[in-house]
Amino acid sequence: MPYLDSQRNRSMLLQSRWLWCLVAVFLAACQSTPHEVSAHDMKTFRPLALEQRVIPEVKLRWLVREDVAQYCARAIQMGQEQAFITPPLACAVWNKSTQECTIVTGTTTSHMVLGHEVRHCFEGHFHR
């Protein structure tokens, strides 16, 4: 019987390793797939009060670029490794003094992505 238990344990160990590999691949794909919506973006939130916003009244521009991942990675000073692993789908670049914000997306985007970036324009780095 000890041999069977050892063999069964080895089999279970191999199956669990295979399962963890699948989970890791699935999670990585969710972060970089533009058609997936993150759980964070589905949560409701309370907008900051006007006096707490980074820019209370924003002059907004929308820039559409073929190279959105590369452009945004440079604009938000993202490290090359991070940009390769989870390329940005869009970004918002704001200037408090001029109260201007530019949203950059790819040639294909979603209302969810656009709304997420608009929130950055008003509230800055809200992910913290």
Position 112 pLDDT exceeds 80: yes
pTM of the model: 0.64
Specify whether 14 is located in the same domain as 59.
no
What is the sign, positive or negative, of the torsion defined by CA atoms of 81, 82, 83, 87? positive
Specify whether 72 is located in the same domain as 119.
yes
Specify whether 26 is located in the same domain as 73.
no
Give me the domain span that covers residue 16.
1-33
Number of neighbours of residue 65 by Cβ within 10 angstroms = 14
Q: For residue 39, tell me if it sits in a domain.
A: no
Specify whether 54 is located in the same domain as 7.
no
Q: What angle do CA 122, 53, 107 make, to 5 degrees?
A: 10
Q: According to the model, what pLDDT value does residue 9 have?
A: 52
**What is the distance between the alpha carbons of residues 4 and 11, in angstroms, rounded to a whole number?**
10
**What is the distance between the alpha carbons of residues 114 and 128, in angstroms, rounded to a whole number?**
19
Q: For residue 42, tell me if it sits in a domain.
A: no
Position 14 pLDDT exceeds 60: no
Specify whether 24 is located in the same domain as 62.
no
Chain mean pLDDT for the chain: 76
Average pLDDT over residues 110-120: 92
Categorize the per-residue pLDDT at 32 as very low, low, confident or very high, splitting at 50, 70 and 90.
very low
Q: What angle do CA 49, 76, 73 make, to 5 degrees?
A: 135
Categorize the per-residue pLDDT at 31 as very low, low, confident or very high, splitting at 50, 70 and 90.
very low
Position 92 pLDDT exceeds 70: yes
Q: Could you tell me which residues come within 8 angstroms of residue 100 by beta carbon, excluding any fewer than 6 positions away?
A: 58, 59, 60, 61, 94
User: What phi and psi, each to the nearest 5 degrees, are found at residue 65?
Assistant: -135, 145
Nearest CA among 96, 89, 95 for reference residue 112: 89
Q: For residue 128, tell me if it sits in a domain.
A: no
Number of domains in the chain: 2
